[in-house]
Structure 1
Amino acid sequence: MLKFQFSVFLLSHLFLCSVFITNASVHEYNGEKFVSKGNAFVVHGGSEGIYSSFSDPNNLSAYAADSYIRFEKITFRRPKESANFSSLPIHALVFEVEDREIIGGSAYGGQRAVCCTADLAKLGVCLEGGIIHRPSTMDPSWPKVFGISFSGDDEIATIRSKSIRVTKTGMYNLYFIHCDLNLKDLTVEGKTIWKNPTGYLPGRMAPLMNFYGFMSLAFVILGIFWFSQYARFWREVLPLQNCITLVITLGMLEMALWYFDYAEFNESGIRPVGITMWAVTFGTIKRTIARIIILMVSMGYGVVRPTLGGLTSKVVMLGATFFLASEVLELVENVGAVSDLSGKARLFLVLPVAILDAFFILWIFTSLSSTLSKLQARRMVVKLDIYRKFTNALAVAVIVSVGWICYELYFKSNDVYNERWQNAWIIPAFWQVLSFSLLCVICVLWAPSQNSMRYAYSDEGNEDFDKDDTNLTLIKPSTTPSKDFRSAPEARPLQSSNGASNGDLEEDKTE
């Protein structure tokens, strides 16, 4: 079964890599077909948040620190059988999202049209077959509309290279539009380059580069604390602490890879597909292992029970399923992504991950409830105190998560046109901070120390943790115990009716 799941994972990696390997920071158009939208035919050329230029607006050649959208080799192709007439213009339309209401119009208050109709042309507000738009109240030179037409039997029409300077911070949209019903199977090729003053990162992604830099530093500090404790008390290390070490290591690698991914993207303008895929994979492995560790701790593994018994295969199956679902979602969402808009595919891929997460949470709290009850019944005060703190931390994390999900839904439902793009980076950053905070709590509770072994599983009275406590019997000591009672090899510790040895009771009193 594991071989099959690994094969599926490998095939999905190869498939997604082949799909995204050609993408870069620029928006490329490789034979994109125009689709009908209302009375127009359009191709969405891209949407990005762009900050205003830092350079002198009078120095038109200083593109190094400018914000701009550059058109390079934009070519329109029509089939040879359709190349027998001169066409209406094919437009490139660039506008800021706040000016969306100035695009399109209606003659009699009916359906809004982008292409100028005969009725609107009669009113003198536009030319028939052209794009309906009005000058922006903030800047009359916007929106930017320009284009080209096919002449005679030409099969190719090319827009000359040009750059549009961005002097106002906002979310900008590019559409290629034509209104000619005779232009069937028209396609567009070429690319546009979108640049912010500080580099090629889209505006929504730009703050994430600094964020992952700070997160890398935070993981380094956590790693120094954890690995120093690990090195000092390596003889007392538990299997559970080895798993936590693995999660910290994966977290350090993930944060560093995300930082280098965004830094390379920002510097060169080419998104490094390989680094992105590794960052996604390390992050998915980390999240999967972290959920499995929390589930195993909730079940009492390594602390109050030596193994998971028959539940091992179920835990592994749940973890493998979550890994595959999360990996595909993250690959589709991040690898080759250059636009500030999420694709529709994410809506279908996020549902399985959400369901599996809910199943994890339900199983974790069910197991915690059972473990706490048995620890309390056995009067294991030290372990009970740790588990109560762990439960409280998980409960707070779940409550905060639910609250943030509600806020995220509110944010997205009230930001249909991505007008609040400058704050959108906070949403993915929050989940990273929350998971890191929970990891810090776990590290504090189960940090390696000279007393680590007292948190480990011990076979009190040779009884399994899951067995009924009522089967245990009370062993009465002799009324005249010998002086070397504790050192006698055949002597057994006191056992109470609730299953706690007198060693545990003494430990509890000491605590």
Structure 2
Amino acid sequence: MVSNNRDREFICLSSYDLIGNGYFQKLTFVVIIYFSCFSITQVGASIHEYQNQSFFRRSNSFFFHGGSEGLYASNLHLEENHLNGKSFIRFESITFQRTKESAEKKNDMQQKTGLVEAIIVEVKDRENIGGSYLHSAAICCTPDLSKQGSCNVGEVIIHQDPNHPYSPQRIQTFFEGKNEETTMVLQTIEINRTGMYYLYFMFCDPELTSTTISGRTVEKSRRLSSRKDGTTNDIFRANVSSIPWPWSIQYWKDIIQLQYHITAVIGLGMCEMALWYFEYANFNATGSRPMGITLWAVTITAVKKTVSRLLLLVVSMGYGVVRPTLGGVIFKVLLLGLTYFVFSEALGLVENLGNINDLTGKARLFLVLPVSLLDACFIIWIFSALSQTLEKLQIRRSMAKFALYRRYAYCEEMGDELEEEGISLTSSSVLLAGESTAKLERKASNADLFRLGGEELEEDKRE
């Protein structure tokens, strides 16, 4: 099942640019493609594989977390043998292996000599597992609780809500005689209520302490969860990112160097969306996430986010329009960018590389904080530099450049409200030049617009 969890890019285009340069027709075409993507049939399933993995002790029980998935309720109006539109959790070749010492302690004539339970529970029903409703900290049933008639000794305590009898659900698997291995019966549990579901494997017998689990489970939703449904959005974003390309190619002789950097960021964004699309499509088809394509997608995403933030920072400092170089501050800018790339790459790998569960582990928390702090550093530095640039231009009475940066600051604030991201901030700077120049020379062509940027740069060099 594909997640998604992605940053939105917003491209700021004025209505004059859309209609006057044929972009209205291109945008209409992209919108048609976007809506046509909803007709694509997607099969979303996650495959959780276990290879001789151990159980962990909690209270008086031993448990293994088999996975967590956001699942939509099955469509009740389908035929029984029709899988599309159904949500389920299927147990395939699940095998439990106990130690030889544990098996030899049992009587060969006994039919049931050890119990392992698979428990499916919705997140909001987690309190129904364990003895909390009996005012007990125990998870497994004790002799005292059994005497009260609340549970059976050796089983996990489960409180069944009469209003929601389908959660939690338990599936029991027994060891027989002195057998060291037992296999879970192949079965499918249908999901009839939308929610986030946990799968646990648990046992209460201390003699099964070193038991391991192998096999796999398939968790399928009738449609992808909101976190993983990224394929349609990626197609839309890639198409929207392609809108400025014809304009840049048409006036490639007239654009300034800064706009080449902007085009590079847009190109990175298109590559990023393409990689994530194929990663998600593969995930939907196979239920697994190969390391190669995920690593490339995460790396391109980290590069694009870093370059777009650096580009916004240097533009706010006036590079390419107000000042030809950054001087000694370039080392601080590169250091901040390198640090951000490292932490952003690490966070992306933790969130996506081989991760199938809808909920990530605690390691993510240790990386979210530094990435958030670095984002805050970028924001503070960007607005501080932009304020200084505006003040400097006002003192110099460079009104054309001042109008350009004032409009740029306004568009930057609008981008923050939607979600601060590279393409929104970079592509807006191209159009800001067009809007500010239109105020000065309303009859000027687009080629004149780009030449104005070059002339202003030369003027600044003379200053």
TM-score by length of 1: 0.73
C-alpha distance in structure 2 between counterparts of 1:286 and 1:108, whole Å: 53
Post-superposition shift, 1:26? 0.7
Aligned residue-pair number: 400
C-alpha distance in structure 1 between counterparts of 2:397 and 2:367, whole Å: 46
Post-superposition shift, 1:187? 1.5
Task: State the one-letter code of the partner of 1:27.
Answer: H
The residue that corresponds to 2:404 in the other structure is 386
Cα RMSD of the aligned pairs, angstroms, is: 2.4
**Aligned with 2:431 (options 444, 450, 453):** 444
The residue that corresponds to 1:132 in the other structure is 157
The residue that corresponds to 2:22 in the other structure is none
SS at match of 1:270: coil
The residue that corresponds to 1:455 in the other structure is 453
The residue that corresponds to 2:39 in the other structure is none
Q: Is residue 214 from structure 1 mapped to residue 239 from structure 2 by the alignment? A: no
Post-superposition shift, 1:64? 4.2
**Aligned with 1:280 (options 298, 310, 322):** 298
Post-superposition shift, 1:294? 1.0
How has the CA–CA distance of structure 1 residues 272 and 318 changed in structure 2, closer, same or farther, with 3 Å as cutoff?
Answer: same
The residue that corresponds to 1:333 in the other structure is 351
Larger displacement relative to structure 2 (313-322 or 39-48)? 313-322
How has the CA–CA distance of structure 1 residues 53 and 188 changed in structure 2, closer, same or farther, with 3 Å as cutoff?
Answer: same
The residue that corresponds to 1:487 in the other structure is none
Task: State the one-letter code of the partner of 2:101.
Answer: E
Q: Note if contact 1:33-1:188 (Cα within 8 Å) is conserved in structure 2.
A: yes
Larger displacement relative to structure 2 (65-74 or 76-85)? 76-85
Post-superposition shift, 1:320? 1.6
How has the CA–CA distance of structure 1 residues 289 and 436 changed in structure 2, closer, same or farther, with 3 Å as cutoff?
Answer: closer
Q: Note if contact 2:73-2:193 (Cα within 8 Å) is conserved in structure 1.
A: yes
Post-superposition shift, 1:140? 3.2
C-alpha distance in structure 1 between counterparts of 2:460 and 2:199, whole Å: 70
How has the CA–CA distance of structure 1 residues 107 and 306 changed in structure 2, closer, same or farther, with 3 Å as cutoff?
Answer: closer
Q: Is residue 97 from structure 1 mapped to residue 119 from structure 2 by the alignment? A: no
The residue that corresponds to 1:50 in the other structure is 71
- 1:68-217 equivalence runs, <5 A: 68-86=88-106, 87-105=113-131, 109-111=135-137, 113-140=138-165, 142-198=167-223, 201=224, 203-217=225-239
C-alpha distance in structure 1 between counterparts of 2:327 and 2:166, whole Å: 71
Q: What per-residue deviation string (whole Å, max 9, x for no partner) do you get for residues 263-285 of structure 1?
A: 22123323343332222222111
Q: Note if contact 1:383-1:455 (Cα within 8 Å) is conserved in structure 2.
A: no
The residue that corresponds to 1:39 in the other structure is 60
Post-superposition shift, 1:97? 2.8
Task: State the one-letter code of the partner of 1:458.
Answer: E
Post-superposition shift, 1:168? 2.2
**Aligned with 2:394 (options 376, 381, 404):** 376
Which protein, 1 or 2, shows the higher relative CO under an 8 Å CA cutoff with sep ≥ 6? 2
How has the CA–CA distance of structure 1 residues 460 and 178 changed in structure 2, closer, same or farther, with 3 Å as cutoff?
Answer: closer
Task: State the one-letter code of the partner of 2:227.
Answer: M
Q: Note if contact 2:311-2:426 (Cα within 8 Å) is conserved in structure 1.
A: no
TM-score by length of 2: 0.80
Larger displacement relative to structure 2 (258-267 or 332-341)? 258-267
Post-superposition shift, 1:460? 5.2
C-alpha distance in structure 2 between counterparts of 1:352 and 1:174, whole Å: 31
C-alpha distance in structure 1 between counterparts of 2:396 and 2:48, whole Å: 64
Instruction: State the identity as a percent.
Output: 44
